[in-house]
Protein backbone atom coordinates (compact mmCIF):
# COMPACT_ATOMS: atom_id res chain seq x y z
CA UNK A 1 0.00 0.00 0.00
CA UNK A 2 2.81 2.40 0.87
CA UNK A 3 4.44 1.84 -2.53
CA UNK A 4 1.33 3.05 -4.35
CA UNK A 5 1.14 6.13 -2.11
CA UNK A 6 4.84 6.78 -2.75
CA UNK A 7 4.17 6.53 -6.50
CA UNK A 8 1.24 8.92 -6.24
CA UNK A 9 3.34 11.37 -4.19
CA UNK A 10 6.10 11.23 -6.82
CA UNK A 11 3.57 12.05 -9.56
CA UNK A 12 2.14 14.87 -7.47
CA UNK A 13 5.61 16.31 -6.78
CA UNK A 14 6.51 16.09 -10.46
CA UNK A 15 3.29 17.87 -11.47
CA UNK A 16 3.90 20.57 -8.85
CA UNK A 17 7.49 21.09 -10.04
CA UNK A 18 6.42 21.36 -13.69
CA UNK A 19 3.58 23.73 -12.75
CA UNK A 20 6.14 25.95 -10.98
CA UNK A 21 8.33 25.93 -14.09
CA UNK A 22 5.28 26.80 -16.21
CA UNK A 23 4.74 29.82 -13.94
CA UNK A 24 8.33 30.95 -14.46
CA UNK A 25 8.00 30.67 -18.25
CA UNK A 26 4.66 32.53 -18.19
CA UNK A 27 6.30 35.35 -16.22
CA UNK A 28 9.10 35.46 -18.81
CA UNK A 29 6.38 35.90 -21.45
CA UNK A 30 4.95 38.79 -19.44
CA UNK A 31 8.36 40.42 -19.34
CA UNK A 32 8.81 39.95 -23.10
CA UNK A 33 5.37 41.45 -23.77
CA UNK A 34 6.12 44.45 -21.58
CA UNK A 35 9.45 45.01 -23.37
CA UNK A 36 7.69 44.58 -26.75
CA UNK A 37 10.64 42.49 -27.97
CA UNK A 38 9.37 40.29 -30.82
CA UNK A 39 12.23 37.79 -30.63
CA UNK A 40 11.80 37.35 -26.87
CA UNK A 41 8.04 37.02 -27.31
CA UNK A 42 8.46 34.30 -29.94
CA UNK A 43 11.06 32.44 -27.86
CA UNK A 44 8.88 32.72 -24.75
CA UNK A 45 5.87 31.49 -26.70
CA UNK A 46 7.77 28.36 -27.80
CA UNK A 47 9.04 27.68 -24.27
CA UNK A 48 5.57 28.31 -22.84
CA UNK A 49 3.95 25.87 -25.25
CA UNK A 50 6.56 23.20 -24.50
CA UNK A 51 6.13 23.65 -20.76
CA UNK A 52 2.34 23.59 -21.10
CA UNK A 53 2.53 20.24 -22.89
CA UNK A 54 4.84 18.85 -20.17
CA UNK A 55 2.38 19.98 -17.51
CA UNK A 56 -0.53 18.39 -19.38
CA UNK A 57 1.32 15.08 -19.54
CA UNK A 58 2.23 15.16 -15.83
CA UNK A 59 -1.34 16.08 -14.88
CA UNK A 60 -2.75 13.31 -17.07
CA UNK A 61 -0.49 10.70 -15.41
CA UNK A 62 -1.47 11.88 -11.93
CA UNK A 63 -5.17 11.95 -12.81
CA UNK A 64 -5.03 8.45 -14.29
CA UNK A 65 -3.55 7.08 -11.09
CA UNK A 66 -5.94 9.14 -8.96
CA UNK A 67 -9.06 7.99 -10.86
CA UNK A 68 -7.87 4.38 -10.92
CA UNK A 69 -7.44 4.35 -7.15
CA UNK A 70 -10.10 6.75 -5.93
CA UNK A 71 -12.66 7.23 -8.67
CA UNK A 72 -14.38 10.62 -8.53
CA UNK A 73 -12.65 11.96 -5.40
CA UNK A 74 -10.98 15.36 -5.75
CA UNK A 75 -7.27 15.80 -5.11
CA UNK A 76 -8.01 17.39 -1.73
CA UNK A 77 -10.17 14.41 -0.74
CA UNK A 78 -7.49 11.95 -1.85
CA UNK A 79 -4.86 13.85 0.16
CA UNK A 80 -7.11 13.78 3.24
CA UNK A 81 -7.48 10.00 2.76
CA UNK A 82 -3.69 9.43 2.73
CA UNK A 83 -2.14 7.41 5.57
CA UNK A 84 -1.47 9.44 8.72
CA UNK A 85 2.30 9.96 8.40
CA UNK A 86 1.96 11.00 4.74
CA UNK A 87 -1.19 13.11 5.00
CA UNK A 88 0.50 16.40 5.90
CA UNK A 89 2.94 16.15 2.96
CA UNK A 90 0.09 15.37 0.55
CA UNK A 91 -2.03 18.24 1.80
CA UNK A 92 0.94 20.59 1.54
CA UNK A 93 1.52 19.50 -2.07
CA UNK A 94 -2.17 20.01 -2.84
CA UNK A 95 -2.16 23.54 -1.39
CA UNK A 96 1.11 24.33 -3.17
CA UNK A 97 -0.40 23.28 -6.49
CA UNK A 98 -3.53 25.35 -5.81
CA UNK A 99 -1.42 28.44 -5.14
CA UNK A 100 0.72 27.84 -8.23
CA UNK A 101 -2.45 27.34 -10.29
CA UNK A 102 -3.90 30.63 -9.05
CA UNK A 103 -0.61 32.40 -9.74
CA UNK A 104 -0.52 30.97 -13.26
CA UNK A 105 -4.12 32.05 -13.92
CA UNK A 106 -3.29 35.61 -12.85
CA UNK A 107 -0.17 35.66 -15.04
CA UNK A 108 -2.06 34.29 -18.05
CA UNK A 109 -4.79 36.92 -17.59
CA UNK A 110 -2.14 39.65 -17.40
CA UNK A 111 -0.53 38.32 -20.59
CA UNK A 112 -3.91 38.30 -22.34
CA UNK A 113 -4.50 41.90 -21.25
CA UNK A 114 -1.08 42.94 -22.59
CA UNK A 115 -1.76 41.21 -25.91
CA UNK A 116 -5.22 42.80 -26.20
CA UNK A 117 -3.76 46.23 -25.39
CA UNK A 118 -1.19 45.73 -28.15
CA UNK A 119 -3.91 44.71 -30.59
CA UNK A 120 -5.93 47.79 -29.63
CA UNK A 121 -2.91 50.03 -30.26
CA UNK A 122 -2.45 48.34 -33.63
CA UNK A 123 -6.14 48.87 -34.47
CA UNK A 124 -5.88 52.56 -33.59
CA UNK A 125 -2.70 52.92 -35.65
CA UNK A 126 -4.33 51.32 -38.68
CA UNK A 127 -7.38 53.54 -38.18
CA UNK A 128 -5.16 56.65 -38.16
CA UNK A 129 -3.35 55.50 -41.30
CA UNK A 130 -6.69 54.78 -42.94
CA UNK A 131 -8.04 58.22 -41.99
CA UNK A 132 -4.90 59.89 -43.33
CA UNK A 133 -5.19 58.01 -46.63
CA UNK A 134 -8.86 58.81 -47.11
CA UNK A 135 -8.76 62.35 -45.77
CA UNK A 136 -11.07 64.69 -47.62
CA UNK A 137 -9.23 67.03 -49.96
CA UNK A 138 -11.85 69.70 -49.62
CA UNK A 139 -12.76 69.29 -53.27
CA UNK A 140 -16.38 70.12 -53.85
CA UNK A 141 -18.34 67.49 -55.65
CA UNK A 142 -21.80 67.94 -57.03
CA UNK A 143 -23.40 66.96 -53.72
CA UNK A 144 -20.75 68.30 -51.31
CA UNK A 145 -17.51 66.94 -49.92
CA UNK A 146 -16.77 63.25 -50.41
CA UNK A 147 -17.47 61.45 -47.12
CA UNK A 148 -14.70 59.47 -45.46
CA UNK A 149 -14.45 55.91 -46.65
CA UNK A 150 -15.30 53.04 -44.33
CA UNK A 151 -13.48 50.51 -46.47
CA UNK A 152 -10.44 48.56 -45.32
CA UNK A 153 -6.84 49.69 -45.70
CA UNK A 154 -5.95 46.28 -47.12
CA UNK A 155 -5.45 46.47 -50.87
CA UNK A 156 -5.65 43.50 -53.21
CA UNK A 157 -2.64 42.38 -55.24
CA UNK A 158 -4.41 43.50 -58.45
CA UNK A 159 -4.48 47.14 -57.36
Residue 26 CA to residue 41 CA, distance in Å, equals 11
What's the mean pLDDT in 3-29? 94
What's the mean pLDDT in 5-29? 95
Is pLDDT of 29 > 90?
yes
Strand partners for 141: 144
- Threshold 0.85, pTM exceeds: no
| CA–centroid distance for 2 within its chain | 37
- Taking alpha carbons only, the member of 100, 77, 101, 102 closest to residue 90 is 77
Domain boundaries along the sequence of the chain = 2-133
pLDDT tier at 104, thresholds 50, 70, 90: very high
pLDDT at position 46 is 96
pLDDT at position 33 is 93
pLDDT at position 122 is 86
Is pLDDT of 3 > 50?
yes
Residue 32 CA to residue 41 CA, distance in Å, equals 5
- Taking alpha carbons only, the member of 126, 108, 134 closest to residue 45 is 108
Instruction: Give residue-wise pLDDT tens across range 111-152.
Output: 999 999 988 888 888 888 877 777 655 555 566 555 555 555
Instruction: Give residue-wise pLDDT tens across range 66-103.
Output: 999 889 999 999 998 888 889 999 999 999 999 999 99
Please give the CATH number for the structural domain made up of 2-133: 1.20.58
pLDDT tier at 159, thresholds 50, 70, 90: very low
Residues 6+ apart with CB under 8 A from 145: 136, 138, 139
Amino acid sequence: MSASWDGFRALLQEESRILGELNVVALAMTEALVQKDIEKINASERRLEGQRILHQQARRKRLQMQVAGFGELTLEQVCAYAPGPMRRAFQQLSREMSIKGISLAITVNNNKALILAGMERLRKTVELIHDAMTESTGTYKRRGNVPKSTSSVIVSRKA
